[in-house]
Structure 1
Amino acid sequence: MEFEFMKSIRREILASLTGFALILFPVKASGQPCSLSMQVSHTAAEQLSLADLDFPNFHSTNLLFTVTFTNKGVVAANASLHLIMDITLAQGSINFPGALDLTTKAFPVPPGGRTITNLNLGPGGDIQTQTYSFSREAKTKIEDIALLTGHMPAGSYNFHIELKELGCATTVNDHVELLLQNPTRVELRSPRDGETTNTFPLFEFYQDGLRAVLTVAEKTPEQTREDAITRKPAMLEIDLSGRNSFLYSGGRPLEDGKTYVWTVVSKVRTAGGSDIDVSSPIGLFSVSGSLQGSGSLNGTVDDALLTQLEEILGSKHHAVFQQIRSGGYHLTSNMSLNDSKLSASQLLDLLIQLRDLSDSIELSFE
């Protein structure tokens, strides 16, 4: 009887200890919420090198993307990343889905979190590679274009990044897309070299980048073009974004009988965050305030204002503007905005701002 009683006591104690073990040493079950989250950002790079993308094999110093991890837990979590890069080249719409595929070994994320970049994945980085592949076809195509042009081919380089937390069933996904423009040339179109213009010339040029700087400077007879364009202060130096034309305004007035030089510099952002300048040739033009064209307004501030209005309102009112020019009409000096008097130059600047917004606002002509 005593023996049976002791066995019963032992069974109850064992059951209690087992219960304590389950409470003190929980196992993270499948489907349990994970502790980690991530946010991915990238640089505004317009040029890359193959070394920037071939993480395990080359040591790059250029920052492409940043991954910020947040750990809501009270202990460090172990994680790994799975990175896939899709490439779509602008040349001939050539696609390489899954061109690069990389999986890292597990790495710790302390409570609170940590931040890594693509530089952590390369040689000497603290995150080691588990598996890695780079499509031979994609790599060969990229190398062939890079050897020919000296630049990585323009196109879309789309990184899909997946975070896996060890012990959790769910994954976290994000992606970044690098759009490479690789601007390589800047071409001046108008005024043509040596042309005589009015006092409000329309500058037209070609450059396939996102940002450019237009500079206009006076040239004296004894100066070379190179000396004149570096003259400070310039007549005009203006940053242009997404534009390939600019009607002269905002600078010092261009004077009748003088000669000027102009140039456009395309600003190309590299993966390292710095700019490379791609410059046009230095153009030359002269100014004549009395220059007449097909209309009596040509060469005056009135014509510059009408040109801006016509560009904003589109071609549907072309006949109206032709009548204004051929009829010799001119603007009065009574110009105002919200009861504040405007000069012709201020009105011209306002119209240029409206033109830049013309894609997002609706304008009417009465």
Structure 2
Amino acid sequence: MKAQNALTLQLEVFNADQLQMLFLSDLDLAQAGSAADLFKLTIIKNTPEEYPAAQMNIRVTKDNTLLLEAQSESFRIPADPPGTTYETDNRELINNNFFLHPGDPTTNIRIKESRLSDDVEEIQKEVLSSGKVPIGVYRLIVDIVNLQTSSPIVHEEIPFLQATNPSFVRLISPGVPFGSPAPSSVYTEYPVFQWNGNGDEYKVFVFEKKSMIQSMDDILNQLPNWESEPISEQSVIYPQSGDVIPLEYGKTYYWMVQMQVHTSAGILKVNSEIWEFKLKNPAESGVAHQEISKMEVIKFLKDVLGSQVDGLEKSLEGYRTAVIRYNGREIEIQDLYRLLQEYQNRKVEVFDLILPSASE
């Protein structure tokens, strides 16, 4: 906030800490009608001086390049006492409903012109193709000018948006895309769901395969076995308790991730593909418990250590997991799954990893 001469301007961007995407239509200050809440503008009188002819200029820049500018018609700033406050927002400005003195048309701030910069062709192309402003740093700038002297009365600018335009979410495991010839097998009732995305908030949905399901719409129209709370991580394990229907051996399940994107028009939901997997009982499958537990341990170590365990799976080809011990205590495979769940999404530091020799 910066006081200059007779007026002070205060600008506040609504949901500035969450806004990730901006739609062009919400910036058009000359387009009357419904619009999202973007910013609040407060004008404070510092002196009793009257300005018979003033003009408001509003600009939005991207990385210091002009993106949009708007100008008001001439309006009167009345001789109100110091401390008088006038408040408005972008929606009121769009609809020309902002009066410094209600009912006095000479104090009505009406936007007469709003346009995108003709010099920014690349921005224009991206806006036309998607309706969204491109990724970058945006600033909101407001000036009020004395038209009688062509001199500024007050100037204010603030960071408006760090646009990231989250647009993709890709599943990693478990399973294969919906409609694949044969779903992959999962051997635990508490699988870990993993994905990649360029957003900040996600929800996971898990559905049971029903006999009447023929399409993706059929899947999405049924109640899920589990719908996670919004999370920022890109992996989550199926819960053992809470508002959840337990997974059952022998059944096939679908899952998807929904990215929650905060935009100028509200929450935009971006859905991933739908994947499927079949839950198999390790005791009844052709895969030995030892192999299953080894696969789970390798997967967990990859999640924790990343590239440090490249080639780990190949180096363990000659091994089998005969006994699982945790802190010196022998545990069953279901205990291993429970421990992996406890460590999932926690910061883990591995100090050393020792593999026994083939003779051990």
Q: Same fold (TM over 0.5)?
A: yes
- Aligned to 1:256, what secondary structure does the other structure show? coil
Code of the aligned partner of 1:365 = F
Q: 1:259 to 1:80 in 2, by over 3 A?
A: same
Using the size of structure 2 for normalisation, the TM-score is 0.65
Task: Give distance in 1, aligned partners of 2:219 and 2:239.
Answer: 20
Aligned length: 310
Deviations 1:300-349 (A, max 9, x none): 4x75466334422333356788659935165447799xxxxxx6565334
For 2:87, the equivalent position in structure 1 comes to 115
For 1:256, the equivalent position in structure 2 comes to 249
Task: Give distance in 1, aligned partners of 2:211 and 2:340.
Answer: 31
Q: 1:348 to 1:325 in 2, by over 3 A?
A: farther
Deviations 1:211-257 (A, max 9, x none): 3321112224454465455444x333224545544454455543332
Which shows bigger deviation, 157-166 or 210-219?
157-166
For 1:62, the equivalent position in structure 2 comes to 36
For 2:118, the equivalent position in structure 1 comes to 136
Task: Give distance in 1, aligned partners of 2:247 and 2:328.
Answer: 23
- The match for 1:83 among 58, 81, 97 is 58
Q: 1:157 to 1:279 in 2, by over 3 A?
A: same
Q: 1:238 to 1:86 in 2, by over 3 A?
A: same
Q: Would you say the 8 A contact 2:7–2:154 is kept in 1? A: no
Which shows bigger deviation, 77-86 or 253-262?
77-86
Deviations 1:49-79 (A, max 9, x none): 43322212454522222234556x5969878
Q: Kindly indicate which of the two structures has a greater share of residues assigned to helix.
A: 1
For 1:265, the equivalent position in structure 2 comes to 258
Q: What is the percent sequence identity of the aligned residues?
A: 19
Question: Structure 1: any 5+ residue segments left out of the alignment?
Answer: 1-30, 89-95, 337-342
Task: Give distance in 1, aligned partners of 2:328 and 2:37.
Answer: 51
- Aligned runs of 1:1-366 on 2, under 5 Å? 36=8, 38-43=10-15, 44-69=18-43, 81-87=56-62, 97-104=65-72, 107=77, 111=83, 113-126=85-98, 127-129=109-111, 134-138=116-120, 141-142=122-123, 144-149=125-130, 151-156=131-136, 158-162=138-142, 171-181=155-165, 183=167, 186-190=169-173, 191-193=175-177, 194-198=182-186, 199=188, 200-224=190-214, 226-227=217-218, 229-232=220-223, 234-239=224-229, 241-250=231-240, 252-273=245-266, 275-290=267-282, 297-300=290-293, 304=296, 307-316=299-308, 326-328=319-321, 330-332=323-325, 347-355=339-347, 363-366=349-352
Q: Would you say the 8 A contact 1:292–1:299 is kept in 2? A: no
Q: 1:205 to 1:32 in 2, by over 3 A?
A: closer
Q: Would you say the 8 A contact 1:48–1:271 is kept in 2? A: yes
- Aligned to 2:248, what secondary structure does the other structure show? coil
Question: Structure 2: any 5+ residue segments left out of the alignment?
Answer: 99-108, 330-334, 353-360
Q: Larger Rg: 1 or 2?
A: 1
For 1:18, the equivalent position in structure 2 comes to none
Q: 1:134 to 1:260 in 2, by over 3 A?
A: closer
RMSD: 4.5
